[in-house]
Structure 1
Amino acid sequence: MKEKFRLDNLLVLNKHAENVNKAKALVMSGKVLVNDMKIDKPGTKFTNDVIIRIIKKSHNWVSRGGIKLEHAINKLNIKIENRICADLGSSTGGFTEVLLSKKARQVYSVDVGKGLLDWRVLTNKKVTLIENTNVRKLALEDISSEISFITCDLSFISLTKGLEKIIVTKNKNISILALIKPQFELSKDMIGKKGVVTNKDYRKTAITKIISWFEINGWIKKDIIASPITGMAGNKEYFIYCVK
């Protein structure tokens, strides 16, 4: 019997990814086909003779997150130029890259993972990477007291938990643009097959929950807009824009 390997290890072995962390991100983003079947679980095992293909991007950003954030910033007419920003849950750097393109003075990219930030973002002198760091345990002042704009794209955790220390910041004249992912804000009975929230009323419940949470903590909701594309599993996502 032929030996089987985890898909993320196979990607590194066959030079489709620089390291295992980037391989995992590639698989979870839905860009990997094995024998023409999309596989989104890095731990799935295959023999080394399978045919692996990487789906080419239809955009110029380092990740799909760039499509989402660029749309939101443009639609809400948010000025980024010369601002010091924090990108929470930066992953490969889609949001960070958009902030740089909008002429941010500096971007602090924070992620619980390690080795995920794309090289072309990582090598930008305006980027400060804070990796292997759980944002849930991080106060904004631990990063910089000069941060005036926050972007946030967290997974597998509610914003109310992931931002529990960030939200009480004493930084003044600050705003946040956070991605609401209903599947991480609702109880299990509200979530359908494959983790997709198909019920429109349930999605509204998730949005209302986050609006209330921000307002209780002294923030003012300026707007809510839908993301121009869904998450990888097909979930509809929404941006909340708040100021303090």
Structure 2
Amino acid sequence: MKKLRADEWLCAHGICADRDEALRMIMEGRVRYNPDMLVRKASEMVAFEAALLVDTADTFASRGAQKLRPALERLLPDLSGLAAMDVGASTGGFTDVMLHDGAARVYAVDVGKGLLHAKLRNDPRVVCLEGVNARTLDRSIIPEPVDLVAMDVSFITTTKILPAADTVMKPGAWAFILVKPQFEADRADVPPGGVVTDEAVRAACVEKVKRFATERLAWKFLEVTPSEIKGPKGNQEYITVFRKG
């Protein structure tokens, strides 16, 4: 039985024009062996006759969208009429997902400038708040209480941002917080290269964020799930879900 690399399989079956496009689809979590099993690497060998499941829908603004999408679709699939906030928006993967699911408005917050994808920057439902330090968020920046917060930040612990986010959330608002152990762990626990492989360290990072949110902010913890898409260096990250009390 002839076998091909996964990226070659996508090209051979006419799904992708080239291997670069195939790689993007795989990295975005849009190719699966079955509903519960992702194709994770372009180099994985697949029988030519295999029936891979391929999501050919329009690509979101970034692969980061697939970190949020499974939890959001499971717990809060319909965002119709809701106001949302994307903290650490970058190119706008989370913003894109929330708009796709019906959000009426998304405040896209990032300390960087010029990062948000053009299609989102030009979308009237998006309020682009670039050059904004999320630690300073308040009602002067976000003029309405939001129903949903999605957070994906780097080079800072989320616990330094959660209190500010809390000030602009409605009672009962949802929070989907991406926990990145490489930025939550003590420096001594992050190996050279920045990839945290110690399961105990990862668990401690999740517990740190969970305890901060529940004890300091009185949020209700709902669940934690490993992200299907790993960080750029291969770090396992986690989506934690809360509701404001």
Q: Do these two structures clear the TM 0.5 threshold for a shared fold by scoring above it? A: yes
Give yes or no for contact 1:140–1:166 (8 Å, CA) kept in 2. Answer: no
Give yes or no for contact 1:140–1:165 (8 Å, CA) kept in 2. Answer: no
The TM-score normalised by the length of structure 2 is 0.73
> Helix, strand or coil: the match of 1:155?
coil
Q: Hey, what does 2:242 align to over in structure 1?
A: 242
- 1:218–1:83 distance in 2 versus 1, CA, 3 Å: same
Give yes or no for contact 1:227–1:239 (8 Å, CA) kept in 2. Answer: yes
Cα deviation, 1:147-166, whole Å, max 9, x if unaligned, reads 11100000000001123322
Q: Hey, what does 1:102 align to over in structure 2?
A: 101
The TM-score normalised by the length of structure 1 is 0.74
CA distance, structure 1, for counterparts of residue 131 and residue 143 of structure 2:
18
- 1:170–1:64 distance in 2 versus 1, CA, 3 Å: closer
**How far apart are 1:66 and its partner, in Å?**
1.1
CA distance, structure 2, for counterparts of residue 141 and residue 65 of structure 1:
28
Q: Hey, what does 2:90 align to over in structure 1?
A: 91
> Helix, strand or coil: the match of 1:61?
coil
CA distance, structure 2, for counterparts of residue 142 and residue 117 of structure 1:
18
Q: Hey, what does 1:162 align to over in structure 2?
A: 161
Equivalences for residues 32-71 of structure 1 within 5 A = 55-56=20-21, 57-58=24-25, 59=28, 60-71=59-70
- 1:214–1:199 distance in 2 versus 1, CA, 3 Å: same
RMSD, aligned α-carbons: 1.7
Structure 1: stretches of 5+ with no match in the other structure: 1-53
**How far apart are 1:229 and its partner, in Å?**
1.1
CA distance, structure 1, for counterparts of residue 225 and residue 92 of structure 2:
22
> Helix, strand or coil: the match of 2:79?
coil
**How far apart are 1:168 and its partner, in Å?**
4.4
Aligned amino acid, residue 206 of structure 2: I
CA distance, structure 1, for counterparts of residue 169 and residue 117 of structure 2:
31
Aligned amino acid, residue 212 of structure 1: R
Q: Hey, what does 2:175 align to over in structure 1?
A: 176
Q: Hey, what does 2:137 align to over in structure 1?
A: 138
**How far apart are 1:120 and its partner, in Å?**
1.0
Q: Hey, what does 1:153 align to over in structure 2?
A: 152
> Helix, strand or coil: the match of 1:211?
helix
**How far apart are 1:180 and its partner, in Å?**
0.4
CA distance, structure 1, for counterparts of residue 171 and residue 221 of structure 2:
16
> Helix, strand or coil: the match of 1:195?
coil
Structure 2: stretches of 5+ with no match in the other structure: 1-18, 29-58
Deviates more, 1:128-137 or 1:68-77: 68-77
Q: Hey, what does 1:7 align to over in structure 2?
A: none
> Helix, strand or coil: the match of 1:193?
coil
